[in-house]
Homo-oligomer: A and B are copies of this chain.
Amino acid sequence: MTDPSMRHFSSAAINELEKQTRTNLINCLSGYKGANLVGTTDGKRDNLAIISSVFHVGAHPPLQGMLLRPHTVPRQTLENIRETGVYTINAVSAGWTDKAHQTSARYDEHTSEFDATGLTPLKEDGFAAPFVAQSPLRMAMAAEEITTLQCNKTVLVIGRVLDIYVMEGATGEDGQLDLEKMNLACISGLDTYHRAEPIARYAYAKPDKPVTLAGKNA
């Protein structure tokens, strides 16, 4: 049945879209995406790249994944991770999305994105990769599994969370982080940044009960 309130793009229609139009459309399909900066080093120069594909892989052990395209800007990021085995993930705040976005420019290999954007590199306890001092949520990561996807040769990097640094006052007693308090940004498509506000936190869902707000059905 055809729904007249919806616009339909068939496979053929998607194929016929102008390349950048298609890129924009497909990049929007997964909805809001986390905005994160990945920090790496080759020992001489620190590198920083905005990545919108960081995703949760597991909590026991604590693992995060991300996708990198070898032929685009994060190439140095991938080379540095392969070489050093470590990287950082730094959440982007809504107050400096302009600086975060600017890290996606194709700087030459002699330029650090930290210098170019004015974001501040921070080293912690001898960990090789640089953190972003402005970020309210930072993780030290060790690469655990690096796989090239057959379907399009992008590279999946899964890393283990070694250390977490989170803004004081943003961690609930039950471990939940208050992303709004940290003023975190999110991304749609390639280039659009958003801030978010809470709708609701729900209790663990059970088959024999209607949905309830967290804390109301204990």
The interface of chain A, by Cβ under 8 A from chain B, is 1-11, 14, 17, 19-36, 52-65, 67, 89, 91, 94, 97-99, 101-108, 111, 116, 122-124, 133, 136-139, 144-145, 147, 149-152, 154, 156, 158, 161-168, 170-177, 179-180, 184-186, 188-189, 191-207, 209-211, 214
Contact = CB atoms under 8 A, between A and B. Distances in A.
B211 A98 contact: yes
A19 to B, nearest CB: 7
Nearest to A206: B105
Contact of A28 (B61, B98, B179): B179
A100 to B, nearest CB: 9
Given A53-B56, A116-B207, A175 B20 contact: yes
**Interface-central residue, A60, A145, A205, A214, by most chain B CB under 10 Å:** A205
Copies in the complex: 2
Nearest to A136: B6
Given A7-B166, A156-B156, 8 more contacts: A5-B168, A14-B164, A29-B137, A30-B34, A105-B206, A176-B192, A191-B202, A196-B197
Contact of A196 (B28, B57, B152, B196): B196
A111 B177 CA distance: 34
**Interface-central residue, A54, A108, A200, by most chain B CB under 10 Å:** A200
A65 to B, nearest CB: 8
Contacts of A154: 57-58
A150 B64 CA distance: 13
Contact of A151 (B94, B145, B161): B145
